[in-house]
Amino acid sequence: MESVDLNSDLAEGYGAYRLTDDEALLDVVSSANVACGLHAGDPEIMARTFRIAKMKGVSVGAHPGFPDLWGFGRRRIPFSTGEIERLIAYQIGAAQALALYAGHQITYVKTHGALGNMAEEDRDVANAVIRAVKAVDATLAILAGPYGEQTPAAKAMGLRIVTEIYADRGYTEVGRLIPRGQAGAMILDPDAAAARVVAMAKTSAIVTAAGTQLPTKIDSVCVHGDSPHAVESAKRVRTRLEEAGFTVAPFATC
């Protein structure tokens, strides 16, 4: 039976503010991308998320973004590539420390929001991300899209790539995410999201907004934790994958 990972972005609150239903999602997903304190997250919510993930057998990774609480890390900030390297290294360190404090261990890195989009589009930014990960802990995998720049950058530097598709985002004809705000960018209906994930998993291909199939290995499926129907979408995706004969499990064991 073929295995696939199901991941979501968690710990995306700050202080008294909560954006994601972390506990409910940790009952469904097999991997949790934990915000590291710059676009969202703080030591309390990070430690709590790592602790609950450990209890539930959910793998965890660092989810670094730009230092942009007001914009939730979705605004592009013109940092130099050196500054980006250090921002990534700083956040991986925070995630590693709090995961260990909670009795867990991060195994991968997935960039967030605008930083993630820039790393997919711009090889110099991708190289900065991968250099930072390799310098801090070369055993960490990179969770990224198959048609972005992080995949070849990671391969060139000898890091493991875990190939990810999105359940709730539309794709362009070159296999990258349709920018938020444009038609077809978001897929909010849980049933529609689940159906397209199964179709992509069965055919090993990204399905673009125009219906084109772009071949790819699929190791992991992401459901955004901050969407209005996140928990329901994650449940539907998991159920439909299992009904189609897939085992949902952390990619470290796939």
Region 34-53: mean pLDDT is 98
Give the C-alpha separation, 61 to 66, whole Å: 17
Q: Name the residue with tokens 């934990």.
A: 34
Residue 166 φ/ψ region, left for φ over 0, alpha for ψ in the -120 to 50 degree band, beta for the rest: beta
Region 212-228: mean pLDDT is 93
Region 151-177: mean pLDDT is 97
C-alpha 134: how far from its chain's center?
18
Region 110-121: mean pLDDT is 97
Give the C-alpha separation, 166 to 151, whole Å: 16
Structure tokens that stand for 170 in this block? 């539309």
The CATH class of the 3-253 domain is: alpha beta
Give the C-alpha separation, 36 to 136, whole Å: 15
Give the C-alpha separation, 58 to 66, whole Å: 25
Region 56-83: mean pLDDT is 97
pLDDT confidence band for 19 (50 / 70 / 90) = confident
Confidence check: pLDDT of 1 > 80: no
Confidence check: pLDDT of 182 > 60: yes
Give the C-alpha separation, 110 to 42, whole Å: 17
Give the C-alpha separation, 98 to 106, whole Å: 10
Give the C-alpha separation, 121 to 127, whole Å: 11
Region 56-79: mean pLDDT is 97
Give the C-alpha separation, 48 to 242, whole Å: 29
Structure tokens that stand for 171 in this block? 């794709």
* Residue 105 CB neighbour total at 10 angstroms: 13
Predicted TM-score of the model (pTM): 0.96
Region 99-123: mean pLDDT is 98
The residue length of the chain stands at 254
